[in-house]
Amino acid sequence: LEYSPLHINNIDSHANNLFPLCMLTLHKNMLRNSHLPHGARTQYAIFLKNAGMCYEDAMTYFQNSFSAKFDEEAFRKKRYFYYFSYCFGKEGRTVHFPESCDNIISRVLSTNDVHGCPFAHYDSNVLKACLEESSIQEISIRDILKAVSNQQYKVACSYYLHDKVGVSKVIAHPNSYYDIAIQHRGA
Ligand code: SF4
């Protein structure tokens, strides 16, 4: 199966097959809750921009995903439209850089935060269920959980990548994970 560059019509299959688990988690959270908390919105929008999604597609994706709770007017009124545009560099002058794995892994999460590293922040039973839901093979799940128990979270992520796309690389950044995944599955 080959993948074309990221756009509104293929984001679901890209998320499931080419996104690192931290970003797949944000995709699923947003679809499930029709919302994302503040920190997660920032992290996810900047990831998508750097993964090559165009501004128009991203805004449609966010707006559609929020639509069960916020119609177009509410989406603008709540300043979600402004904020996502800001992350895409369309508002304000700030250039936003996506965060490295080390930053995400060492983040201290509040109760409602979902923008951590699943390998570092999830309880092992929750992580196992999440890996099973992502169709990771049992043998890889064993390797991943072993790496996690040794606090080797980026190694766990590289096992996840290997299971998904069949290539072994050390992961240091969610966007480099995506770049490697799409290179090996075809763009
Ligand atoms: Fe995301 Fe990095 Fe954690 Fe992998 S190791 S899930 S890319 S934060």
The complex's ipTM works out to 0.99
Q: What is the DSSP letter of 67?
A: T
Q: How many CB atoms sit inside 10 A of residue 134's CB?
A: 18
Q: How far apart are CA 58 and CA 90, in angstroms?
A: 12
Q: How far apart are CA 47 and CA 19, in angstroms?
A: 10
Which two structure tokens, joined as six digits, stand for 20?
A: 């690192």
For atom 5 of ligand 1, the residue with the nearest CA is: 154
Q: What is the DSSP letter of 183?
A: H
User: Residue 142 pLDDT more than 90?
Assistant: yes
C-alpha 71 – ligand 1 centre gap (Å): 32
pTM equals 0.94
97-137, pLDDT tens digit by residue?
889 999 999 999 999 999 999 999 999 999 999 999 999 99
Of all atoms in ligand 1, which is nearest to the CA of residue 154? 5
For atom 4 of ligand 1, the residue with the nearest CA is: 157
C-alpha 22 – ligand 1 centre gap (Å): 6
13-70, pLDDT tens digit by residue?
999 999 999 999 999 999 999 999 999 999 999 999 999 999 999 999 999 999 999 9
73-95, pLDDT tens digit by residue?
999 888 899 989 989 888 877 77
C-alpha 5 – ligand 1 centre gap (Å): 21
Give the confidence band of 1 by pLDDT, cuts at 50, 70, 90. low
DSSP 107-167: PPPPTT---S-HHHHS-HHHHHHHHHHTT--HHHHHHHHHHHHTT-HHHHHHHHHHHHHS-
